Amino acid sequence: MQTFWIGERRVGPEAPAFIIAELAWAHDGDLDKAIRIAQGAAAAGADAFSIHVTHLPDYMVRHYGNPDTVSAGKPTSAIYDYLDKINLGFEQVEALVEATRNMGLAVCLMPNDFASLHFCEGLNPDAYVLAPACFVEHDFVEAIGQAGRPVILRIGGATLGEIEGTVNRLRAAGADRLLLLHGFQTYPTRLEETNLRVMPLLSRLFNCPVGLADHLDGGDALAQVIPPLALAVGAVAIEKHITWDRAEQGEDFESALDPAQFATFVRYVRAAQTALGVEAMPPFSADVQKYRQVARKRVVAACDIPAGTVLQPEHLVCKRSDEGASPEERPYLIGQVTAVDLAQDAPVTQAVLIRTQEVMA
Taking the C-alpha atoms of residue 338 and residue 355, their distance in angstroms, rounded to an integer, is: 9
**CA pair distance 325, 337, nearest whole angstrom:** 15
User: Of 238, 237, 228, 177, whose CA–CA distance to 207 is shortest?
Assistant: 177
Domain boundaries, the chain: 4-276, 286-360
Indicate the pLDDT class of residue 16, thresholds 50, 70 and 90: very high
Whole-number Å distance between alpha carbons of 105 and 126: 10
- C-alpha triplet 60, 213, 21: angle, nearest 5°: 85
Q: Contact at 8 Å (CB) between 301 and 346?
A: yes
Q: Is the pLDDT of residue 79 over 80?
A: yes
φ, ψ (nearest 5 deg) of residue 50:
-100, 125
Q: Tell me what the mean pLDDT of segment 156-180 comes to.
A: 97
- What is the second-level CATH architecture of the domain 286-360? Alpha-Beta Complex (3.90)
Quickly state the pLDDT bin for 72 (edges 50, 70, 90). low
Residues 75-91, mean pLDDT to the nearest whole number: 87
Whether 353 shows a pLDDT value over 60: the answer reads yes
Q: Is the full-model pTM beyond 0.85? A: yes
Q: What is the mean pLDDT of the chain?
A: 94
Closest CA to 225 of 183, 267, 186: 267
Question: Do the domains spanning 4-276 and 286-360 agree at the CATH topology level?
Answer: no
pLDDT for the residue 2: 77
d(C-alpha 133, C-alpha 151), whole Å:
15
Q: Cα dist. 21→60, 176, 217 in Å?
A: 25, 23, 15
Helix axis angle, 199-206 relative to 160-173, nearest 10°?
40
pLDDT above 90 for 76: no
Residue 278 pLDDT class (50, 70, 90 cuts): confident
Over residues 137-146, the mean pLDDT reads 98
User: What's the pLDDT score for residue 73?
Assistant: 61
Higher-pLDDT residue of 148 and 77 is 148
User: Quick one: pLDDT at residue 64?
Assistant: 87
Angstrom distance (rounded) from CA 29 to CA 99 = 16
- Please identify, in words, the CATH class of the domain defined by 4-276: alpha beta
